[in-house]
Structure 1
Amino acid sequence: MELDRDAAAVLEMIRTAGRPPWHTLSPDEARASYMAGRQATAPEPMPVAVVKDLVAPGPHGPIPLRLYRPAAAPAAGAAALVFFHGGGWVLGNLESHDGMCRHLAERSGCVVVAVDYRLAPERKFPAPLDDAGAATAWVAAQAGALGLDPARIAVGGDSAGGNLAAALCLMARDAGGPAIAWQMLLYPATDFAMDTPSHRRFEDGHLLTRESMLWFRDHYLNNTAEAADWRASPLRAASVAGLPPALVLTASHDPLRDEGEAYGRRLAEAGVPVTLWRVPGQIHGFLPMGKAIAASARVLDRLAAMMRGALGW
């Protein structure tokens, strides 16, 4: 399968610019580089009727949130997606995925609530997951005040955010709540073993490298033994039965491709309704890059339509 022309151009742009790999930088340096890359590749943000910053209480302190309410969403009883950004549990924030959240909200007619969970290595595992869980529980508890339908709240995220969403669904199932209607897992990390064929085939040269994944892992986890914890590696959960219906999107030229698809297959084998969608020709992290990768907008449009359908709106 050939690499998408736009994705190949992004990789060439990174090579030409001489951008250092994440694993050669400090976390603060990597964060600055990540945001500079966002500015270069993100499209103009879509206007959304209401964009409001909120704060949820969390186990490690207040958690910043950003709510996007499109004009098509009803004032009361709206469906919602609680969204966790990617960035290897080390990078990213509300701004890095602002355009993506706007796109999903505006095209779906659903409310999107982005979560600015705390990052490693300052807050290691399971602090980001704790924040994700606390934020989701708060949104569900405040559904009436936020104009949301508590029976139609989904969770989702890309990459590390997809990992948090998957683990959160397992936690919510075991704890008896909050109720989650759907999960949207976008090229998610599901297993820190990192020993699949796609990890070996795309270990270098396709934006996310094996060395950088090890760098992310070592910043996120307190020790390598935690890689076996299903909260870090959802694919290792003893059972995935009884989880919400899911969409699992993967990219063909992504080291995380095989573990994402393996998680989707496990869901299906356990009787969970799942849509598994591999986007051909794409690299890890392509969705927020609409200025540089034309396919991004088309995929986001389809994701928004699927979100709308899954949440009954």
Structure 2
Amino acid sequence: MSSATPGTLHPEIEALIAPQEGEDDHPQLWEVSVEVARQFYRAMMLDGSDEGAPAPVADTQDKVLRLPGGERPCRIHRPLRSRGRTLVYFHGGGWAVGDLDTHDEVARSLCDALGAVVVSVQLPQPPEAIFPKPVFSAVEAIAAIHSMRSDLGGPDSPLIVAGDSSGANVAAAAVGHLARRQPGLVAAQFLLYPITDLTGGYPDTMRCGSGYWFEAAHARWFIEQYVPDPKLLGHPDVSVLRAPHLDGLPPTAIVTAEFDLLRDQGRLYAEVLRAAGVTVSYREAAGMVHGFFGMAHRISDVRDEARLCCADLDSLLRSAGER
């Protein structure tokens, strides 16, 4: 069980995200090209990746998904103890800068805790591929992986769609499309500190807009890359919280972090889904920050918190009659 105290930033996380000597000399994301921003982000995310033990998996393979819209790289993790589940995972990184390596620990953690075969998919990224292309690619990837379940969690394995941050945003939009087109194809969705409303105006943006690793200035730059046309910020596939028809979505587990500028909109999304008749599990992780799942291999309390979040999804699946 996590020993984090509500109202207090976890001390090990506080030490981990504290600015290091010389860090102020680095340029900001918006001061460099997107390619350089990706290099900076990758270096930051992989720094310390050799500290602690990564979540154990039985096997890992890098493959290519051949989709109608083009080929997409993916990474498949198989669990040590399979529970007959298949999970599609879309990583975060502000739509523009993350990759399969920067969020590999999250994918491994989901594989281990849920006993699921996890397929981590690299979606097309802005500015080369702006909205709505990543959403369409995600819909194609989910449908393709559903048809591949015999080689993954099993032919009758429930299909879970998961994502964190911007990846949760795309996951939610894609699941919304599939719920209307092919009801029942997705058994559940698991949204970790999701972006649900790009129109702004939430108190946590001020409360946690700086000093907690993921900052409001970063969010603004990421949004500009993904949705360069501000008239589209309220589109229901961008701001999923504002979608007119949320009924019919699969059971949904939502996780937010106490010290995250996205907490308000994640919590409100849970409330809106419940009001639409969707079965929802909601957890606010005390003492945690945005992206905490990726810190699980370095901080034992974070690992414990991540397992509690996965246990919520377990309970949700059982209540829906899934394994």
Fold in common (TM above 0.5): yes
Q: Please name the residue that 1:37 is paired with.
A: 44
**4+ residue runs of structure 1 moved beyond 4 angstroms?**
none
Query: In the alignment, which of 229, 237, 253 is matched to residue 231 of structure 1?
Result: 237
Q: Partners of 2:256 and 2:284 in 1: how far apart?
A: 5
**Which region of structure 1 is more displaced relative to structure 2, 279-288 or 46-55?**
46-55
Q: CA deviation at 1:179?
A: 0.7
User: Is the alpha carbon distance of 1:298 and 1:221 closer, same or farther for their aligned partners in structure 2, counting shifts above 3 Å?
Assistant: same
Q: CA deviation at 1:24?
A: 3.1
Is 1:289 equivalent to 2:298 in the alignment?
Answer: no
Unaligned runs of 5+ in 2: 1-6
Is 1:96 equivalent to 2:118 in the alignment?
Answer: no
Deviations 1:55-86 (A, max 9, x none): 22234410111111113226xxx211110000
Identity %: 33
Q: Please name the residue that 2:152 is paired with.
A: 146
User: Is the alpha carbon distance of 1:41 and 1:305 closer, same or farther for their aligned partners in structure 2, counting shifts above 3 Å?
Assistant: farther
Q: Please name the residue that 1:52 is paired with.
A: 61
Q: CA deviation at 1:151?
A: 5.5
Q: CA RMSD in A?
A: 2.0
Q: CA deviation at 1:292?
A: 4.5
Q: Partners of 1:183 and 1:11 in 2: how far apart?
A: 29
Determine if contact 1:4/1:281 at 8 Å carries over to the other structure.
Answer: yes
Deviations 1:235-288 (A, max 9, x none): 110021111111110111111110111100001111111111111122111210
Amino acid across the alignment from 2:193? Y
Secondary structure of the structure 1 residue equivalent to 2:286: strand
Amino acid across the alignment from 1:246? T
Q: CA deviation at 1:28?
A: 1.6
Q: Partners of 1:171 and 1:90 in 2: how far apart?
A: 22
Q: Please name the residue that 1:254 is paired with.
A: 260
Determine if contact 1:83/1:112 at 8 Å carries over to the other structure.
Answer: yes
Q: CA deviation at 1:302?
A: 2.1
Q: Please name the residue that 1:123 is paired with.
A: 129
Q: Partners of 2:296 and 2:231 in 1: how far apart?
A: 38
Amino acid across the alignment from 1:57? R
Amino acid across the alignment from 1:52? Q
Unaligned runs of 5+ in 1: none
Is 1:300 equivalent to 2:306 in the alignment?
Answer: yes
Q: Partners of 1:203 and 1:59 in 2: how far apart?
A: 39
Taking structure 1 as the reference length, the TM-score comes to 0.92
Is 1:68 equivalent to 2:74 in the alignment?
Answer: no
User: Is the alpha carbon distance of 1:151 and 1:48 closer, same or farther for their aligned partners in structure 2, counting shifts above 3 Å?
Assistant: closer
**Which region of structure 1 is more displaced relative to structure 2, 160-169 or 9-18?**
9-18
Determine if contact 1:162/1:188 at 8 Å carries over to the other structure.
Answer: yes
Taking structure 2 as the reference length, the TM-score comes to 0.89
Q: Please name the residue that 1:195 is paired with.
A: 201
Determine if contact 1:41/1:290 at 8 Å carries over to the other structure.
Answer: no
Determine if contact 1:186/1:250 at 8 Å carries over to the other structure.
Answer: yes
Amino acid across the alignment from 2:80? A
Secondary structure of the structure 2 residue equivalent to 1:170: helix
